[in-house]
Amino acid sequence: MSLTAKDVDEIMKLLEGSSFDRLSLEVDGLKLELERGGGGAPRAARPARAAAAPATSAAPVAAAAPPPAAKARQSSEAGLVEVKSPLLGIYYRAPKPGEPPFVEVGSKVDAETVIGIVEVMKLMNSVHAGVAGEVVEIIGANGELVEHGEVLLLVRPA
Amino acid sequence: MTIRRILIANRGEIAVRIIRTAQRLGIETVLAVSEADRGSLGAQMADRALCIGPARPSESYLRVETIVQAALGSGCDAIHPGYGFLSERAALAQLCEDEGVIFIGPTARQIEAVGDKLRARTEAIAADVPVVPGGPVGSMSEAQALAAEIGAPILVKAVGGGGGRGMKLVERLEDLAATMDIASAEAGAAFGDARVYLERYVAQGRHVEVQVLGDGAGKVVHLGERDCSVQRRYQKLIEETPAPNLPEDIRAAMHEAAVRFAARLDYRGAGTVEFLYDVARRQFYFLEMNARIQVEHPVTEMVTGVDLVAEQIAIANGEGLRFAQEDIRIDGAAIEIRVNAEDPARDFMPSPGTVSAAHWPTGEGIRVDTHIVAGAKIPPYYDSMVAKIIAHGPDRATALDRLRAALRETRIEGVSTNIAFQAESLADPDFAAGGVDTGFLARKAAQAEV
């Protein structure tokens, strides 16, 4: 089986209509890679990451093209505290791949509670809540680049 | 590999400069910004701005790992380091090499080779490039012999010194022993290292540098020279090309020496070989090589028509040199002044703040490289250089006229600048005649005090 130009066109249309930014297709030794916007997907540091990181394979589909700066929060409730990333890096919500996230919506946290990890070139940095209360919304996306000062989650202070 | 998205690891005017070329080439840009630069012109122009840390450079622009992580995390295939910050840090080039990110600049090894002054000097000698006569001395008899060879006047320099510190002048050879004793004792006390070396003292020197481009495989071309002799405390303020009133044989020999030096290293990318021209002796000596794009690169671009940043990107992209030496033509002359946010009336104190109004000059042959627009903030954490005004003309006199007129047209409000001070230098008859030495501004200041 091989792909005709028409097939490729169709696949491109499928990608365009989807919510994905990148598509990787392998058929009988033929490899097709499509990417929205022509940009590269985010990458983590090259050698195998230390055990702490989930999503080791950096699955192409999950690793979407760069998100538009900070994501908009949905909670409009007043008085919520923003927990921000203390540095730029790749944000992970769980200590290891396959393990449950450090916190979920509804989790009770105190100032010392670890709410995630930010990786900078294989160096894992714990992020603390810095406030006591209840997690109301998770904003940072797992496995994605977060900026210094980007909001990771919202906490309703106790 | 094709470069499609570049992370710019710099700020200010050079970030804007790099973004402009990238946009023209259809390459996406991601600008790394500190908290203080979130609202900068570069951040607005780039396809994406990523905050990498607090304002203090040591916590943002100087973080090698953070820069590379930002590039990887935002899908960039290349990093442009600009000048200053990490541009000549071999560690950044090395980490890029390890991570498969293209470093738009020389290899880590080349940066190391030219970054160490003693090693660079050794490389220069090996490339048959003249260096300032002198060298380390272990004993007084060695010193006497070397001094006789160099000839007076001589500088006794502390090995641990630098930037003008730890130097003593010996006018007559018979004073050498006494001065060496004092210099060695002082060096021991000041730098914890009593070793000294001797160097020929150049009473009247000009700073002339040669722009080169190398393909990384031994092929190197030069794009003429720049005269940067108008300096204040080793800081360049006015740069121009061609170097005025430089003997043609010297000019040609400098170009060839710079190419030899870079070719010996298989130099990759844009670089500048700096020389000290000894006016009285009609000789030039290697000073150092800057392994990056230079602040004053626009004057070269104006007379050659070559976009040096585009060539840096092409070389990094594996396209090699896109022209031969004979394709480089020097068209007329270009002069640049650096606009610094500083107050000449208060001993050139930096003048950070918010720019309330900015009017930059336009007109034939005028180019302005800046990130300063009305409302721009000049944070106190960074270099005070905020713009470069460049004038090009068919000859030096025309370029100078255009530059003077351009300065009259320039209005920056809200912060102090050195524009009026720069205009005075341009009006000076010695500068107008061309070919002043590095003592020009110091002499003017001394005269003003009398």
pLDDT beyond 80 at A5: no
Q: What number of other Cβ atoms are within 10 A of residue A126's Cβ?
A: 15
In this structure, the strands spanning B102-103 and B78-80 are: parallel
pLDDT beyond 70 at A56: no
Q: What's the whole-number average pLDDT of chain B?
A: 95
Among A40, A68, A96, give the residue marking a domain's end: A68
What residues are paired with B131 via a beta bridge? B286
Q: What number of other Cβ atoms are within 10 A of residue B125's Cβ?
A: 12
Residue A35 lies in a domain: yes
> What is the pLDDT at residue B161?
72
The CA distance from B124 to B126, in Å, is 5
Residue A41 lies in a domain: yes
Residue A74 lies in a domain: no
The CA distance from B273 to B208, in Å, is 9
What the block records as the tokens of B187 is 């060096």
> Based on the domain organization, do A2 and A61 belong to the same domain?
yes
Q: Determine contact, residues B100/B75, Cβ cutoff 8 Å.
A: no
> What is the pLDDT at residue A12?
67
The CA distance from B248 to B319, in Å, is 33
pLDDT average, residue stretch A79-93: 97
The CA distance from B222 to B311, in Å, is 13
Residues in chain B: 450
Residue B376 Cα distances to B40, B93, B361, B372, B388, angstroms: 7, 32, 17, 6, 16
Residues in chain A: 158
> Based on the domain organization, do A111 and A43 belong to the same domain?
no
A147, A150, A151, best to mutate vs chain B, most B CBs in 10 Å: A147
> What is the pLDDT at residue B24?
98
> Based on the domain organization, do A91 and A40 belong to the same domain?
no
B25, B51, B79, best to mutate vs chain A, most A CBs in 10 Å: B51
> Based on the domain organization, do A90 and A152 belong to the same domain?
yes
User: Are B99 and A147 an interchain contact pair (Cβ–Cβ within 8 Å)?
Assistant: no
Residue A44 lies in a domain: yes
The CA distance from B105 to B95, in Å, is 13
Output helix, strand, coil percentages for chain A, rounded to the nearest 5.
10, 30, 60
Domain hosting residue A54, numbered range: 1-68
> Based on the domain organization, do A122 and A59 belong to the same domain?
no
Q: Determine contact, residues A11/A17, Cβ cutoff 8 Å.
A: no
pLDDT beyond 60 at A63: no
Residue with tokens 């409302």: B375
pLDDT beyond 50 at B261: yes
Q: Determine contact, residues A127/A115, Cβ cutoff 8 Å.
A: yes
Reported in sequence order, the residue ranges of B93-219 that DSSP labels E, i.e. its strands, are 102-103, 134-136, 154-162, 165-170, 196-200, 205-215
Three-state SS at A96 = coil
More confident residue, B223 or A12: B223
Residue B342's closest CA among B191, B266, B233, B184?
B233
Q: Determine contact, residues B85/B50, Cβ cutoff 8 Å.
A: no
User: Are A90 and B5 an interchain contact pair (Cβ–Cβ within 8 Å)?
Assistant: no
Q: For residue B297, report the phi and psi dihedrals to the nearest 5 degrees.
A: -60, -25
User: Are B72 and A43 an interchain contact pair (Cβ–Cβ within 8 Å)?
Assistant: yes
A→B interface, C-beta within 8 Å: 38-46, 65-66, 69, 87-90, 119-121, 123, 144-145, 147-150
pLDDT tens string B18-37: 999 999 999 999 999 999 99
Which of B53, B74, B95 minimises the CB distance to A42? B74
pLDDT average, residue stretch B265-276: 98
Residue A56 lies in a domain: yes
User: Are B51 and A149 an interchain contact pair (Cβ–Cβ within 8 Å)?
Assistant: yes
The CA distance from B191 to B48, in Å, is 45
Residue B167's closest CA among B134, B142, B209?
B134
Which of B52, B74, B99 minimises the CB distance to A66? B74
Residues of chain B contacting A36 with CB distance shorter than 8 Å: none
Q: What's the whole-number average pLDDT of chain A?
A: 77
> Based on the domain organization, do A54 and A85 belong to the same domain?
no
pLDDT tens string B191-238: 888 888 899 999 999 999 999 999 999 999 999 999 999 999 889 999
User: Are B60 and A38 an interchain contact pair (Cβ–Cβ within 8 Å)?
Assistant: no
Q: Which helix (H) or strand (E) holds B411?
A: strand B411-413
Residues of chain A contacting B99 with CB distance shorter than 8 Å: 45-46
> What is the pLDDT at residue B217?
97
> What is the pLDDT at residue B116?
83
The CA distance from B50 to A70, in Å, is 10
Residues of chain B contacting A144 with CB distance shorter than 8 Å: 73
> Based on the domain organization, do A135 and A87 belong to the same domain?
yes
Residues of chain B contacting A39 with CB distance shorter than 8 Å: 4-5, 28, 75
Q: B108 CA to chain A: closest CA distance, Å?
A: 18
Residue A53 pLDDT level (bands cut at 50, 70, 90): very low
**What 8-state DSSP symbol labels residue A104?**
-
Q: Which helix (H) or strand (E) holds A34?
A: strand A30-35
For A37, the closest chain B residue by CA position comes to B28
Report for B109-118, B140-149, B293-302: range of highest mean pLDDT: B293-302
Q: How many domains does chain A divide into?
A: 2
A148, A151, A152, best to mutate vs chain B, most B CBs in 10 Å: A148
Concatenate the DSSP letters of all residues of B20-59 into one string: HHHHHHT-EEEEEEEGGGTTSHHHHHSSEEEEEE-SSGGG
The CA distance from A135 to A153, in Å, is 7
What is the number of helices (H) and of strands (E) in chain A?
1, 10
User: Are B74 and A145 an interchain contact pair (Cβ–Cβ within 8 Å)?
Assistant: yes
User: Are B73 and A46 an interchain contact pair (Cβ–Cβ within 8 Å)?
Assistant: no
> Based on the domain organization, do A85 and A151 belong to the same domain?
yes
Residue A96 lies in a domain: yes
> What is the pLDDT at residue A41?
55
> What is the pLDDT at residue B147?
94
pLDDT average, residue stretch B80-87: 97
Residue A76 lies in a domain: no
What the block records as the tokens of B135 is 């060298």
pLDDT beyond 60 at B176: yes
> Based on the domain organization, do A41 and A10 belong to the same domain?
yes
Q: Pick the range with the lowest mean pLDDT from A66-80, B329-343, B382-396.
A: A66-80
Given B11, B17, B63, B292, the catalytic residue: B292
The terminus-to-terminus CA distance of chain A in angstroms comes to 61
Q: Determine contact, residues B298/B369, Cβ cutoff 8 Å.
A: yes
> What is the pLDDT at residue B414?
97
Residues 6 or more apart whose Cβ sits within 8 Å of residue B333: B240, B241, B242, B244, B303, B392, B393, B394, B395, B396, B398, B399
> What is the pLDDT at residue B188?
87
Residues of chain A contacting B30 with CB distance shorter than 8 Å: 66
Residue A140 lies in a domain: yes
Residue B207's closest CA among B188, B189, B236, B227?
B227
Residue A2 pLDDT level (bands cut at 50, 70, 90): low
Residue B190 pLDDT level (bands cut at 50, 70, 90): confident
**What 8-state DSSP symbol labels residue B396?**
H
User: Are A90 and B73 an interchain contact pair (Cβ–Cβ within 8 Å)?
Assistant: yes
Q: A23 CA to chain B: closest CA distance, Å?
A: 15
pLDDT tens string B290-299: 999 999 999 9
Among A14, A46, A68, give the residue marking a domain's end: A68
Among A68, A96, A126, give the residue marking a domain's end: A68
Residue B315 pLDDT level (bands cut at 50, 70, 90): very high
> Based on the domain organization, do A86 and A118 belong to the same domain?
yes
Q: Give the CATH number of the domain where residue A142 resides.
A: 2.40.50.100
Across the A/B interface, how many CB contacts are shorter than 8 Å? 78
Residue A29 pLDDT level (bands cut at 50, 70, 90): low
> Based on the domain organization, do A47 and A105 belong to the same domain?
no
Told to judge if B404 belongs to the known catalytic residues of this protein, a careful annotator would answer no
Q: Compute the CA torsion angle A84, A86, A87, A90 (nearest 10 deg).
A: -60
> Based on the domain organization, do A60 and A85 belong to the same domain?
no
Query: Residues B370, B371, B375, B378: is their CA dihedral positive or negative?
Result: negative
Q: B38 CA to chain A: closest CA distance, Å?
A: 11
What the block records as the tokens of B210 is 């040669």
pLDDT beyond 90 at A33: no
- Three-state DSSP string of B185-198: HHHHHHHCCCCEEE
> What is the pLDDT at residue B285?
97
pLDDT beyond 90 at A86: yes
